[in-house]
Amino acid sequence: MMRIIGWACFAVAAFYAVRMWWLDRRLQTFRAAGGRASAFLFVPVRWQDDLYTSEGRPLVMSAWRSLGAMVIWFGAGAVSMLLGT
């Protein structure tokens, strides 16, 4: 039973990973003018409010929440899989 719960948690983590990817792609359409190109190289670092226009700023917090949810669900899945063995 714990392995099934673990796989379900991994599936939810995968959902949040895809959501995070989609939000990142959407954020790139809202880049502020004059931003440094090096600020956009590493994905989580580029989720800063000052790098995007006012329309993109609400997406920044959603991207961070998706990252956090992905990590938490993956951790829960890993613990469930370990307890199931």
On the 0-12 / 13-18 / 19+ scale of CB atoms within 10 A, 13 is buried
Per the prediction, the chain carries an average pLDDT of 87
The reported pLDDT for the residue numbered 40 is 66
pLDDT digits (tens, 9 = 90+) for 19-55: 999 998 898 888 878 766 666 677 777 778 778 888 8
Q: What totals of helices (H) and strands (E) does the chain contain, helices first?
A: 2, 0
Instruction: Indicate if the pLDDT at residue 11 is higher than 70.
Output: yes
3-state secondary structure 44-70: HHHCCHHHECCCCHHHHHHHHHHHHHH
Global pTM value: 0.83
The reported pLDDT for the residue numbered 51 is 80
The reported pLDDT for the residue numbered 15 is 97
